[in-house]
Chain A
């Protein structure tokens, strides 16, 4: 009996110990996770706790002084560049380690390693897109330049110093939730992070969809629905007739190279369509104080931990402050005491698909210029948590990796498409940012950008000497008309990419109008001598920004804060007359009369309390898919016409055959579609009003949120009250918008700068600094940024820290 009792008790105890130390999906190991000493509680930072005042680190050459200001922005002062980037790596890892590693795992196609087989398709997509191949090419370039090799290696050493001192108790929350451990950091991961950005910014394409659309709609309708240039007003750079260079011709008599085909297969996931940005610089003649002012606000998915980490970096040859990307050395958007710069995405087709003819299903040889050429195999090893390692063979051709084949999303016919993507090319963006951080004037800025290849960006620039400039920098294929707009013939090298020389890129300095601006619109006026094409262009934010800047004088930073937060809905203002005219003399019920009155009385601002905005936006969201039911319900994937073209066609081509709703027996025109969508909207809005009138106010209706990267709801921030929307200068939609707002006045006596982002400096959900900027951001307020000359010059410091080299 004693034996029975003992063994029963022992068995229960051991079973309990095992159960509490094992991850039982989706829960973490409960004992390991919940215990007060090494469990998640260890990451609960006492409110008011300051960063440690001294840290002894192995690998530093000299002491580094860091002062944290009241916003937990580290101001790092180092005696040399090695120590500067080492400290940047260490401090970034201190606050953002989990995110740095997770984002680079995502880019590398390694999520299945953490979450299991459910991420296998995601990982195979990243591998087959050549993300790792691209990052490897990028790292090779970094290692060729000694200053960059030093920066990237020192950064990695700093991150690793932090990782090496961790035990389980110190792991960030997400490691504990998912029950895994950090691994050493490498320069390849810095390369992967840059490709993560390239994927977000330069993978916009619709070549395969265009190929389908040309077949489905025919040429005339295709051109009507998807014009290359929708609105020539307000391109990024307008200098008609003054492009004083002779364009380099295409080396062959190339045509569009289009292959006619219907592609039924699932197409590649595209970056968020609203990934874009605003930036501008106003010259001294337009500002109150006579100094140029630069503004930049990149629009990206709103996530926690935030994409950006703000820091000041100082060594004897650099003193720069701005938004850094955790995982990469240097500042990406920022300023020093001489210049400031900001970026928006350059809309350009930098992705092409080539149709490959393999000799047989072994895919060892493919046809090129009439000969069989050998393909190169790259075996991707994808580790799977709680499962067998998956080996995926990717075939590389002259053009790039064959992303889709008989083993990845195959369809009935074997069609093989090779991917040509600018991010695969060797690139020196790390060097470009390194030099930009140190630039003193316009010439330095130009020299820095000569090293910049991808992701293509519109670089706005301002200098304390009064210069302003814009340069649309990237490596752009020199194309024949419509070349690369459709699936290309991959049996010939006739459509290989050759490039526009950098000096022919779209750019200018000190234009007469006194400002430069960009908002993802068409890059140049129609006299620019190269063919330009992109998946989409912005047609509203750019015109609104330029209207405000043209009319503005005596501009101060506050004027530009107001503009970054401007909620004027130009799209609504331009479309309302057409929309309401369709409702003329129809019979309306009470809900419809209310909706009509709300719309007719609206001032076109998507402000927090605007009710008309909610009616308009809901109407648009019902109308748009109703108009393009042919696109939505097509058996093959088709591109969606832009909002701008849709609104234009509703007004100018009311009888367009596509306006007929296929599922109804009647023949609809623009008028009937507008009426039908209006009635549906009015009924929905009446229901909302009946439940809670407050929900009609735009901020409540839109219901903006910032989500955690793992989409774990309690780690996000929800119900944020803020105005704006896509196509509006304040581009804040439900989960997308300005991820960093910065304004810099380049006073020669010392720059005055302001910035804010929807997050906080700490990536730790257990820290007060995790999401403490969100409220300021939502209200349109800014933090004052301080580019200090020395560690002792910070106003209201939170604390001081010394990193000391470990004695040898």
Chain B
């Protein structure tokens, strides 16, 4: 359940960040999502990865369909990829990696702070 909430938050925050910030807003958005709901490390990474990859993949699908793959066919060939699908997959994975590591970093930062507080409460 936590995982799905994380996933939805990553997707939502990234979507909102993209409306205003430059492309690297995805790092901040996924990072914040990772801080808000704390899951396990692997699960947070996966939620970040999937959240951004699915968002990007979905957006690319609609852009490419409207463009009838005129541009993606050319750019895929520039990158030596065999099809627009491979290009969309590569783009989504790159977004996903950014999302995954950002979410994980966010979670680990909160772990750090929370742990400290817990320690303080014990010894003071």
Q: Which residues of A contact B (CB under 8 A)?
A: 2-3, 5-6, 9-10, 12-13, 16-17, 20-21, 27, 30-32, 34-41, 43-47, 49, 168, 173, 177, 712-715, 765-768, 770
Q: Which of A35, A45, A47, A765 contacts B95 (CB 8 A)?
A: A35
Contacts of A34 in B (CB 8 A): 87, 90-91, 94-95
With A44-B63, A768-B70 given, is the CB distance from A10 to B94 under 8 Å?
A: no
Q: Given the complex of chains A and B, what is the CA–CA distance between A12 and B49 in angstroms? A: 14
Contacts of B109 in A (CB 8 A): 6, 10
CB atoms of A16 and B66 under 8 A apart: no
CB atoms of B67 and A766 under 8 A apart: yes
CB atoms of B78 and A714 under 8 A apart: yes
CB atoms of B75 and A40 under 8 A apart: yes
Contacts of B73 in A (CB 8 A): 714
Q: Which residues of B contact A (CB under 8 A)?
A: 18, 22-24, 26-27, 31, 41, 56, 59-60, 63-64, 66-68, 70-75, 77-79, 87, 90-91, 94-95, 97-98, 101-102, 104-105, 108-109, 111-112, 115
Q: Given the complex of chains A and B, what is the CA–CA distance between A10 and B72 in angstroms? A: 33
Q: Given the complex of chains A and B, what is the CA–CA distance between A34 and B89 in angstroms? A: 11
CB atoms of A36 and B78 under 8 A apart: no
Q: Nearest Cβ in chain B — how far from A524, in angstroms?
A: 48
Q: Is the interface of A mostly helix, strand, loop or mixed?
A: helix
Most buried by A among B23, B27, B60, B79: B23
CB atoms of B71 and A766 under 8 A apart: yes
Q: Given the complex of chains A and B, what is the CA–CA distance between A735 and B87 in angstroms? A: 30
List 5 tightest A-B contacts by C-beta distance, closest first.
A766-B71, A714-B77, A46-B66, A44-B67, A36-B59
Q: Given the complex of chains A and B, what is the CA–CA distance between A5 and B115 in angstroms? A: 14
Residue on B with the closest CB to A49?
Answer: B66
- 14 A-B residue pairings within 8 Å (CB atoms): A3-B112, A6-B105, A6-B112, A10-B109, A27-B79, A36-B91, A37-B59, A38-B23, A41-B63, A173-B75, A765-B71, A765-B74, A766-B70, A766-B71
Q: Which of A13, A35, A40, A47 contacts B66 (CB 8 A)?
A: A47
Q: Nearest Cβ in chain B — how far from A304, in angstroms?
A: 11
CB atoms of A6 and B63 under 8 A apart: no
Q: Given the complex of chains A and B, what is the CA–CA distance between A766 and B22 in angstroms? A: 22
CB atoms of B91 and A2 under 8 A apart: no
Residue on B with the closest CB to A713?
Answer: B77
Q: Given the complex of chains A and B, what is the CA–CA distance between A6 and B107 in angstroms? A: 9
Q: Which of A20, A44, A177, A712 contacts B94 (CB 8 A)?
A: A20
CB atoms of B27 and A44 under 8 A apart: no
Q: Given the complex of chains A and B, what is the CA–CA distance between A49 and B66 in angstroms? A: 9
CB atoms of A2 and B71 under 8 A apart: no
CB atoms of A40 and B71 under 8 A apart: yes
Q: Nearest Cβ in chain A — how far from B24, in angstroms?
A: 6
CB atoms of A2 and B101 under 8 A apart: no
Contacts of A713 in B (CB 8 A): 77
Contacts of A41 in B (CB 8 A): 59-60, 63-64, 71-72
Residue on A with the closest CB to B77?
Answer: A714
CB atoms of A17 and B98 under 8 A apart: yes
Q: Which of B23, B26, B71, B105 contacts A44 (CB 8 A)?
A: B71
Contacts of B102 in A (CB 8 A): 13
Contacts A16-B98, A36-B60 known; list 9 others, CB within 8 Å: A3-B112, A5-B111, A6-B111, A9-B104, A13-B31, A16-B101, A36-B91, A712-B78, A765-B74
Residue on B with the closest CB to A47?
Answer: B68
Q: Which of B27, B64, B111, B112 contacts A17 (CB 8 A)?
A: B27
Q: Given the complex of chains A and B, what is the CA–CA distance between A168 and B72 in angstroms? A: 19
Most buried by B among A27, A36, A768: A36
Q: Given the complex of chains A and B, what is the CA–CA distance between A47 and B65 in angstroms? A: 9
Residue on A with the closest CB to B98?
Answer: A16
CB atoms of B18 and A37 under 8 A apart: yes
CB atoms of B67 and A13 under 8 A apart: no
Most buried by A among B31, B59, B105: B105
Contacts of B66 in A (CB 8 A): 44, 46-47, 49
Residue on A with the closest CB to B95?
Answer: A35
Residue on A with the closest CB to B57?
Answer: A36
Q: Which of A21, A714, A767 contacts B75 (CB 8 A)?
A: A714
Q: Given the complex of chains A and B, what is the CA–CA distance between A43 and B64 in angstroms? A: 11
Residue on B with the closest CB to A764?
Answer: B71
Q: Given the complex of chains A and B, what is the CA–CA distance between A12 and B105 in angstroms? A: 9
Q: Nearest Cβ in chain A — how far from B60, in angstroms?
A: 5
Q: Given the complex of chains A and B, what is the CA–CA distance between A341 and B18 in angstroms? A: 51
With A20-B94, A36-B59, A38-B23 given, is the CB distance from A47 to B115 under 8 Å?
A: no
Q: Given the complex of chains A and B, what is the CA–CA distance between A693 and B78 in angstroms? A: 31
Q: Given the complex of chains A and B, what is the CA–CA distance between A173 and B23 in angstroms? A: 16
CB atoms of A13 and B70 under 8 A apart: no
Q: Given the complex of chains A and B, what is the CA–CA distance between A9 and B101 in angstroms? A: 7
With A2-B111, A13-B105 given, is the CB distance from A45 to B98 under 8 Å?
A: no
CB atoms of A44 and B112 under 8 A apart: no
CB atoms of B23 and A9 under 8 A apart: no
Residue on B with the closest CB to A4?
Answer: B108
Q: Given the complex of chains A and B, what is the CA–CA distance between A489 and B73 in angstroms? A: 57
Residue on B with the closest CB to A41?
Answer: B63
Q: Given the complex of chains A and B, what is the CA–CA distance between A43 and B27 in angstroms? A: 24
CB atoms of B112 and A2 under 8 A apart: yes
Q: Given the complex of chains A and B, what is the CA–CA distance between A694 and B43 in angstroms? A: 58
With A16-B98, A20-B94, A714-B75 given, is the CB distance from A31 to B24 under 8 Å?
A: yes
Q: Given the complex of chains A and B, what is the CA–CA distance between A687 and B74 in angstroms? A: 33
Residue on A with the closest CB to B108?
Answer: A6
Q: Given the complex of chains A and B, what is the CA–CA distance between A9 and B105 in angstroms? A: 5
With A16-B101, A17-B98, A43-B71 given, is the CB distance from A31 to B23 under 8 Å?
A: yes
Residue on A with the closest CB to B102?
Answer: A13
Q: Nearest Cβ in chain A — how far from B77, in angstroms?
A: 4
Contacts of A10 in B (CB 8 A): 105, 108-109
Residue on B with the closest CB to A34?
Answer: B91
Q: Which of A2, A17, A36, A715 contacts B63 (CB 8 A)?
A: A36
Q: Which of B41, B75, B78, B101 contacts A13 (CB 8 A)?
A: B101
Q: Given the complex of chains A and B, what is the CA–CA distance between A376 and B108 in angstroms? A: 67
Q: Which of A5, A20, A21, A47 contacts B67 (CB 8 A)?
A: A47
CB atoms of A767 and B105 under 8 A apart: no
Q: Given the complex of chains A and B, what is the CA–CA distance between A577 and B76 in angstroms? A: 51
Q: Given the complex of chains A and B, what is the CA–CA distance between A35 and B60 in angstroms? A: 9
Contacts of A765 in B (CB 8 A): 70-71, 74
Q: Given the complex of chains A and B, what is the CA–CA distance between A13 and B22 in angstroms? A: 17
Q: Given the complex of chains A and B, what is the CA–CA distance between A12 and B109 in angstroms? A: 14
CB atoms of B115 and A715 under 8 A apart: no
CB atoms of B98 and A31 under 8 A apart: yes
Q: Given the complex of chains A and B, what is the CA–CA distance between A460 and B63 in angstroms? A: 47
Contacts of B64 in A (CB 8 A): 41, 44
Q: Given the complex of chains A and B, what is the CA–CA distance between A770 and B18 in angstroms? A: 28
Q: Which of A2, A16, A38, A47 contacts B70 (CB 8 A)?
A: A47
Q: Given the complex of chains A and B, what is the CA–CA distance between A2 and B109 in angstroms? A: 9
Residue on A with the closest CB to B90?
Answer: A34
Q: Nearest Cβ in chain A — how far from B108, in angstroms?
A: 4
Residue on A with the closest CB to B76?
Answer: A714
Residue on B with the closest CB to A35?
Answer: B23
CB atoms of A30 and B94 under 8 A apart: yes
Q: Given the complex of chains A and B, what is the CA–CA distance between A35 and B66 in angstroms? A: 17
Q: Nearest Cβ in chain B — how far from A700, in angstroms?
A: 22
Contacts of A47 in B (CB 8 A): 66-68, 70
CB atoms of A44 and B98 under 8 A apart: no
Q: Given the complex of chains A and B, what is the CA–CA distance between A9 and B90 in angstroms? A: 22
Q: Given the complex of chains A and B, what is the CA–CA distance between A35 and B57 in angstroms? A: 10
Contacts of A44 in B (CB 8 A): 63-64, 66-67, 70-72
Q: Nearest Cβ in chain A — how far from B12, in angstroms?
A: 15
CB atoms of A16 and B77 under 8 A apart: no
CB atoms of B115 and A32 under 8 A apart: no
Q: Given the complex of chains A and B, what is the CA–CA distance between A21 and B22 in angstroms? A: 11
Contacts of B79 in A (CB 8 A): 27
CB atoms of B112 and A37 under 8 A apart: no
Contacts of A39 in B (CB 8 A): 23, 91
Residue on A with the closest CB to B101?
Answer: A13
With A44-B70, A44-B71, A46-B67 given, is the CB distance from A13 to B111 under 8 Å?
A: no
